[in-house]
Chain A
Amino acid sequence: MSSVHLNNIVKRFGAVTAVQKTSLEIQEGAFVTLLGPSGCGKTTNLRMIAGLLDPTEGEILIDGKRVNDVPIHKRNLGLVFQNYALFPHKTVAENVAFGLKYRDVPSSDISRRVTEALELVQLPDVGERYPKELSGGQQQRIALARAIVIEPDVLLLDEPLSALDANLREDMRVELKRIQERIGVTTVFVTHDQSEALAMSDQIVVMSAGRVEQVGAPEEVYNTPASEFVANFLGASNILAAECKSRSAEGVELETPIFGKLVVPAEKAPNLGGAGPAKLVIRAEKLLVAAKDAAAPDGVISVPATIEAVDYQGQAVRYFVRAGEAQLQAINMIDQRPFAAGDEVNLRLRPIDCAALPDQ
């Protein structure tokens, strides 16, 4: 178990800058996820930590020690790839034992530790088989066993669930988290899938175009996005132009054409200084579509709107709603029967569910 620090890391490939001036502190034992769209530099960061790429600038510290010049095979890291990368010519047991051969582990201990690792990933009976005789999900468990049996200082996972089917992916998510908590290894997980990131992480690092957009706990990045990019990337959000009237201890007072004046709690607008142009962020699932004649409870803003389109999703429904100039999205649980396109409705909103951003 070790901490990982990136200090002002830059990585260029010729003219392309894949990672721009990134600094990151990963605490011992934490499960940290690098989240962002494809091509934003997640893998590049991970490979620099692993020692598979040299940073163009900056330092990487593992447990406070600079490792820029330590080759990968001396770093004691566990690495898991999207495509499992098992050794096809070795049995499962030989795969898992591979890393132990390079550590002074007595041969009697090797087989015990291999057995334990296979039990940990719940595949105790496949030691004699070859990788190609296992399913994708099983192969990924073996890859995980192989990476953790060496008791790595840091576990690095690059989209390990992306090659699996949707159902299996959710099981493996739970499984992976269980194993990580059990052994308590510092883990850096790379994914472009926000639900994976939200479900598994202690900390999420949201990245875009080689830059860190926000670092925070899942609830934090979800509920208080630090930028428009984060608000749009994690779930569906409505982002409305607004005017900030004032900031007080109680909150920031915003005015928008549709919802009028409302006060957003101060902690949900950490970056908004004072009066001036701003953005109001409303998560689609916080916008409630209600019948036109129903009365709204206290403290809830209610404005008339028209449903333009309905996207039925089973237990939930996504409405595209027009209110004045703006088209908004609302994702609501279905209560009895969903509204239909063309219905006149009321849009309800609690100001405490909103967040605010400075304009740019």
Chain B
Amino acid sequence: MGGTMGWHLLRGWTVLVYLFMFLPVAVVVLLSFNASQFGSFPMTGFSFRWFVELANNDAILRAFQTSFVLGLMTAAISTTLGVLASLALVRYRVPGSNYISTLLIAPILVPEVVLAVALLLFLNFLGINKSFTLLLFGHVIFTLPFVILVVQARLVSIKRDIEEAAMSLGASPRQTFFQITLPLMLPAVLAGALFAFTISFDDITGTLFWKPGGVETVPTQIFAMLRNSISPEINALGTVMILLTVGLPLLGMGIARTLSQKRGG
């Protein structure tokens, strides 16, 4: 009896925790369709007007463009570096590979503010000014661990036997990589790239420190808008962000799953 009671309490508590986390999100999404002038309850009607205004707001469009370019470049660079690093760490005996591995994963473990300030101070010390390149560099540093973790896990599960079989059949190490290893890693590589893109797209802490004046990403743009007033536009923007940052990984996972099913895993 007491056991069942305990379970009920635990279940109730869990539901509350989830409500606490997701209710605000649901509220934002709901309010973004509110016809009212004010970004708050009560709802006065259903409307897409705030999304339309969003689409006509130059500052926001510019921020979207910046975020997209930044996200894509971050994903491209992080994924390339991440795949190479994983290959080196898993497939070759690099001296001190344990330390290198820890070093590469470290940015996840260090609070982002610390990382952001450290990088900024370091570049100040070198006399380098803030720039888009610096921003990109920062994003690469803290998306890289995610790519490495995902790709490394996959690579470990690809048996060395398979690559050795390919080589025994006449494929050079390079041909073996492109014919065997890469296709087998592909779901993980795509997942890593998506991770990198979403994390970069979503990031605010590091971005606030690193972005040069006049450049805004979507999160910093929202942040700036919030300082003036709470416009219903922000709710709409929030909804778009949620759609992108939740939808993209889901889409990626779906693609990865069908890919690996078709190819026999």
A-side residues, CB < 8 A to B, are 50, 52, 71-79, 81, 83, 85-89, 98-99, 101-103, 130-133, 143, 146-147, 150
Q: A79-B164, A81-B161, A81-B165 are in contact. Are A89 and B264 (CB under 8 A)?
A: yes
Q: Are A99 and B170 in contact (CB under 8 A)?
A: yes
Tell me whether B31 is interfacial, beta carbon within 8 Å. no
Q: How far is the CB of A129 from chain B (nearest CB, A)?
A: 9
Q: A88-B263, A89-B263 are in contact. Are A73 and B168 (CB under 8 A)?
A: yes
Q: A83-B159, A85-B159, A88-B184 are in contact. Are A130 and B167 (CB under 8 A)?
A: no
How distant is the Cα of A56 from the Cα of B165 in the complex, in angstroms? Answer: 23
Nearest residue in B to A103 (C-beta to C-beta)? B170
Q: A74-B170, A102-B170, A143-B165 are in contact. List 14 more A-B contacts (CB 8 A).
A: A73-B169, A73-B172, A73-B173, A76-B170, A77-B168, A81-B165, A83-B159, A86-B162, A86-B165, A87-B180, A88-B264, A103-B170, A131-B264, A150-B170
* Chain B 151-167 near chain A by CB (<8 Å), digits 1 or 0: 00000000101101111
Q: Are A130 and B263 in contact (CB under 8 A)?
A: yes
Chain A residues with CB under 8 A of B165: 79, 81, 85-87, 143, 146
Nearest residue in B to A77 (C-beta to C-beta)? B168
25 contacts between A and B (CB under 8 A): A50-B164, A50-B168, A52-B164, A72-B168, A73-B169, A73-B171, A74-B170, A77-B168, A79-B164, A79-B168, A83-B159, A85-B159, A85-B162, A86-B162, A86-B165, A88-B162, A89-B263, A89-B264, A102-B169, A102-B171, A130-B263, A131-B264, A132-B264, A146-B165, A147-B169
B-side residues, CB < 8 A to A, are 159, 161-162, 164-173, 175, 179-180, 183-184, 263-265
Nearest residue in A to B260 (C-beta to C-beta)? A89
How distant is the Cα of A81 from the Cα of B164 in the complex, in angstroms? Answer: 10
Q: Are A98 and B168 in contact (CB under 8 A)?
A: no
Which DSSP category, helix, strand, loop or mixed, fits chain B's interface?
Answer: helix
How distant is the Cα of A75 from the Cα of B164 in the complex, in angstroms? Answer: 13
Q: Are B167 and A73 in contact (CB under 8 A)?
A: yes
Chain A residues with CB under 8 A of B264: 88-89, 130-133
Chain A residues with CB under 8 A of B166: 87, 98
How distant is the Cα of A150 from the Cα of B172 in the complex, in angstroms? Answer: 16
Chain B residues with CB under 8 A of A73: 167-173
Q: Compute the total of residue contacts between A and B using a CB distance below 8 Å.
A: 73
Which DSSP category, helix, strand, loop or mixed, fits chain A's interface?
Answer: mixed
How distant is the Cα of A73 from the Cα of B161 in the complex, in angstroms? Answer: 14
Nearest residue in A to B169 (C-beta to C-beta)? A99
Among B168, B175, B264, which residue has the most Cβ atoms of chain A within 10 A?
A: B168
How distant is the Cα of A50 from the Cα of B161 in the complex, in angstroms? Answer: 13
Q: How far is the CB of B163 from chain A (nearest CB, A)?
A: 9
Q: Are B169 and A85 in contact (CB under 8 A)?
A: no
How distant is the Cα of A77 from the Cα of B168 in the complex, in angstroms? Answer: 6
Chain B residues with CB under 8 A of A74: 170
A-B pairs, top 4 by smallest CB distance, nearest first, are A102-B170, A99-B169, A130-B264, A85-B161
Q: How far is the CB of B59 from chain A (nearest CB, A)?
A: 46
Chain B residues with CB under 8 A of A150: 169-170
How distant is the Cα of A89 from the Cα of B171 in the complex, in angstroms? Answer: 16
How distant is the Cα of A78 from the Cα of B180 in the complex, in angstroms? Answer: 18
How distant is the Cα of A235 from the Cα of B170 in the complex, in angstroms? Answer: 40
Q: How far is the CB of A94 from chain B (nearest CB, A)?
A: 10
Chain B residues with CB under 8 A of A102: 169-171, 175
